[in-house]
């Protein structure tokens, strides 16, 4: 029997996994329907799936203790970005460099060597066993940039404030490279990046401009991971078809998620099957909410047949986190469908 680590490696490298790797983001407390019998069935199914992957990352301290006023929790992260959570997930609300790049000289950037930054990761890895270890560099580049400058500013900065924008990008990239090195020094098998570059209908900027302004930084990070002997995972929401070949060419190993309402799954399998491992795909916007349990199972089976037909190449899951309005019967159907491949 292969270890979880070996099975993931075989799936990603198209060398014949023994069973289907499965990663599903499902928080039962987040769901609107509350039924203990159905929730119990989901938990029963969840424990059938091997515990064969563990995710580690930095755990920075916020700049000030979070406050709660009128039920809204607010905090400032280690980069200086303000956040608020009204119970439906955190949202940014304060951007420390929004007023201008003149603030960079006095802005306090985070210390990538801060004491205790990887204490939680090191504690987790004491129980590493033979699982696949995935390091994480969350809000990697574009997202971190707009969280510092504001979203609209970051869409125009490469054109209107090119030199200052490039200087800020270099600061963020420098931090990210140290995070990658910290992950690699702990023997991770893959490094997970996250930047939402797509809308439902296409890329957020002209693909040639993305290649000019952002691709070199991703190439630098991907190369660092590859040279360290690890796989490159990346979370990219929306339709990023226009730059997917670029990402594969510079070293992308695993794409997360696969959104069938934004990208053509058959086109993805045709153009990248056997070169890129896909993670996700069951439609949380449509099928999981509005479909029947039979619809969910049919879609799950179709995705396994489509993406998993390259001696690997598929990590089962959904097109994003399971939404609060999802019926529990459909969650049960999702787990039951993928359990058939264990």
pTM of the model: 0.97
Query: For residue 145, which of 211, 196, 216 has the smallest C-alpha distance?
Result: 196
Which range is least confidently modeled, 22-31, 169-178, 230-239, 273-282?
Answer: 22-31
Q: In this predicted model, what pLDDT tens digit does every residue of 125-144 receive, in sequence order?
A: 999 999 999 999 999 999 99
Determine the Cα–Cα distance for residues 33 and 199; give it in Å rounded to an integer: 29
Strand 231-235 with 190-194, pairing:
parallel
pLDDT digits (tens, 9 = 90+) for 153-203: 999 999 999 999 999 999 999 999 999 999 999 999 999 999 999 999 999
- pLDDT range class, residue 7, cuts 50, 70, 90: very high
Cα 59–Cα 60–Cα 66 angle in degrees, nearest 5: 110
pLDDT, tens only, 84-103: 999 888 999 999 999 999 99
What is the Cα Rg of the chain in Å? Answer: 20
Residue 239, SS3? coil
**pLDDT tier, 290 (very low <50, low <70, confident <90, very high otherwise):** very high
Residues 6+ apart with CB under 8 A from 68: 74
- SS3 for 165? helix
At the top level of CATH, which class does the domain 4-60+110-339 belong to?
Answer: alpha beta
Could you write out the DSSP letters of every residue in 194-220? E---B-SSSBSS-HHHHHHHTHHHHHH
> Helix 241-249 and helix 215-227: axis angle, to 10°?
40
Give the tens place of pLDDT for each residue, 14-60.
999 999 999 998 999 989 999 999 999 999 999 999 999 999 999 99
In this predicted structure, what is the pLDDT of residue 148?
Answer: 98
* pLDDT of amino acid 1: 85
Map 93-135 to HEC letters.
Answer: EECCCCCCHHHHHCCCCCCCCCCCCCHHHHHHHCCCCCCEEEE
Give the burial string for 283-299 (b: 16+ CB within 10 Å, else e). Answer: bbbebbeebebebbbeb
Distinct helix (H) and strand (E) counts, the chain: 13, 11
Helix (H, G, I), strand (E, B) or coil at 174: helix
Q: Is-contact 20 311, C-beta < 8 A?
A: no
Question: How do the domains of the chain map onto residue ranges?
Answer: 4-60+110-339, 62-100
pLDDT tier for residue 71 given thresholds of 50, 70 and 90:
very high
pLDDT at residue 233 greater than cutoff 90:
yes
Query: Peptide bond preceding 257: is omega within 30 degrees of 0, i.e. cis?
Result: yes
């Amino acid at each position: 029997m292969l270890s979880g680590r070996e099975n993931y490696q075989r799936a990603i490298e198209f060398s014949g996994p023994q069973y289907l790797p499965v990663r599903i983001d499902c928080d039962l407390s987040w769901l609107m329907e509350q039924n203990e019998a159905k929730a119990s069935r989901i938990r029963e199914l969840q424990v059938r799936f091997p515990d064969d992957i563990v995710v580690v990352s930095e755990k920075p301290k916020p700049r000030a203790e979070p406050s709660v006023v009128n039920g809204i929790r607010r905090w400032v992260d280690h980069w200086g970005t303000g956040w608020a959570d009204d119970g439906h997930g955190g949202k940014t609300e304060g951007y420390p460099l929004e007023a201008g790049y003149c603030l960079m000289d006095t802005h306090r950037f985070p210390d990538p060597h801060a004491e205790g930054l990887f204490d939680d990761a090191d504690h987790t890895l004491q129980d590493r066993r033979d699982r696949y270890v995935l390091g994480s560099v969350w809000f990697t580049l574009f997202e971190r940039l707009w969280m510092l400058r504001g979203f609209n500013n970051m869409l125009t900065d490469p054109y209107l404030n090119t030199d200052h924008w490039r200087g800020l990008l270099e600061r963020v990239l420098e931090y990210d490279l140290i995070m990658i090195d910290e992950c690699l020094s702990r023997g991770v098998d893959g490094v997970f990046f996250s930047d939402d570059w797509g809308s439902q209908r296409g890329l957020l900027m002209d693909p040639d401009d993305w290649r000019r302004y952002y691709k070199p930084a991703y190439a630098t990070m991907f190369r660092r991971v590859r040279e360290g002997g690890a796989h490159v995972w990346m979370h990219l929401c929306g339709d990023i078809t226009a730059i997917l070949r670029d990402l594969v060419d510079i070293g992308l190993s695993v794409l997360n998620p696969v959104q069938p309402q934004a990208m053509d799954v058959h086109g993805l399998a045709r153009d990248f099957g056997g070169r890129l491992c896909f993670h996700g795909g069951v439609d949380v916007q449509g099928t999981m909410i509005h479909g029947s349990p039979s619809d969910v199972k049919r879609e799950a089976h179709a995705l396994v047949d489509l993406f998993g037909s390259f001696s690997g190449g598929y990590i089962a899951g959904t097109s994003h986190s399971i939404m609060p309005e999802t019926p529990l019967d459909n969650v049960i159907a999702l787990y039951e469908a993928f359990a058939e491949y264990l």
